[in-house]
Amino acid sequence: MKKNLAAVLALAVGVGIIGAGAGLAAGTADDMINARQAEMKVNMKAMKALVSMLKGETPYDTAAVQAAAKSISDAQAEGVAKDVWNTSSQTGATVKSGAKPEIWTDAAGFTEAWKNLDTAVAALSASTDEASFKAAFPALGAACKGCHEKFRAAE
């Protein structure tokens, strides 16, 4: 019993430390904005590679499709780890951000928009030939467009 309590305490302290760690990792508003814009640049790079295969400008290559899909999910995971969409990024920034306040006032909608991206990326990763790649692709573009329409301001 005593041991259990100790374990629980240790866990609670551990969680507390992790919590504090996450708070630290969020960093300044500028750090968060720079990091999420870098994440989006990775997305765009992946997008361009996929479009070029879609249009036949570069030959279709299953491995390249999967690499592009992976780069998008990796960038997103890094964003989550760095907590780049923390509400504190709304104040004190010196770099320009295209993030709209709706990201924080409509948190459910924003989460939904990320889910659309996840689903699209999963379908791309699962595609095994040119036909299934072409069928999976439009959902990815729709996920980018759908989120930008609602949550990104122009310039």
Partner 1 sequence: MPRRSRILTSIAVLAVAGLAVAWGMSAPHPLTAAEIPAHQPDIANGKVLFNAAGCLSCHKPGPDLKNVDASLPAGGSPFKTPIGTFYPPNLTPDPETGIGKWTDLEFVNAVQRGISPEGENLIPAFPYTSYARMKTSDVLDIKAYLASLSPVVSPEKQAQIPAPWLLRRGVGLWKHIAFRTDQWQPDPGKPAEWNLGAYIANGPGHCNECHTPRNMFMAFDWSKQFAGGPHPGGEGKVPSLHDLIGRGKYKDASDLASAFQNGEMLGYEDMASGGMGEVQTNLSKLPDSDVQALADYISSLK
Per CB under 8 A, residues contacting partner 1 are: 44, 47-48, 50-51, 54, 98, 100, 138, 141-142, 144-145, 148-149, 152-155
- 68 contact choice in partner 1, ligand HEC, none (CB below 5 to 8 Å, kind-dependent): none
User: Which sign does the torsion angle of CA 88, 91, 92, 95 carry?
Assistant: positive
5 phi and psi angles, rounded to 5 deg: -60, -45
Which one among 25, 28, 40, 130 touches ligand HEC, defined by CB under 6 A? 40
Q: Report how far residue 62's alpha carbon sits from residue 139's, in angstroms, rounded to the nearest whole number.
A: 18
Which one among 7, 19, 41, 77 touches ligand HEC, defined by CB under 6 A? 41
CB of 42 to partner 1, least distance (A): 13
Which one among 44, 107, 131, 135 touches ligand HEC, defined by CB under 6 A? 44
Burial of 91 (0-12, 13-18, 19+ CB in 10 A): exposed
Which CB atom, from 14 or from 101, has the smaller least distance to ligand HEC? 101
Which CB atom, from 60 or from 114, has the smaller least distance to ligand HEC? 114
Q: Report how far residue 65's alpha carbon sits from residue 91's, in angstroms, rounded to the nearest whole number.
A: 38
Which one among 29, 33, 124, 136 touches ligand HEC, defined by CB under 6 A? 33
SS3 59: coil
> Which alpha helices (H) appear in 55-129, and where do they start and end?
62-82, 102-105, 107-126
Residue 152 β-bridge partners = 99
Which residues bind to ligand HEC, rule: CB under 6 A? 33, 36-37, 40-41, 43-44, 47, 72, 97-99, 110, 113-114, 117, 140, 143-144, 147-148, 151-152, 154
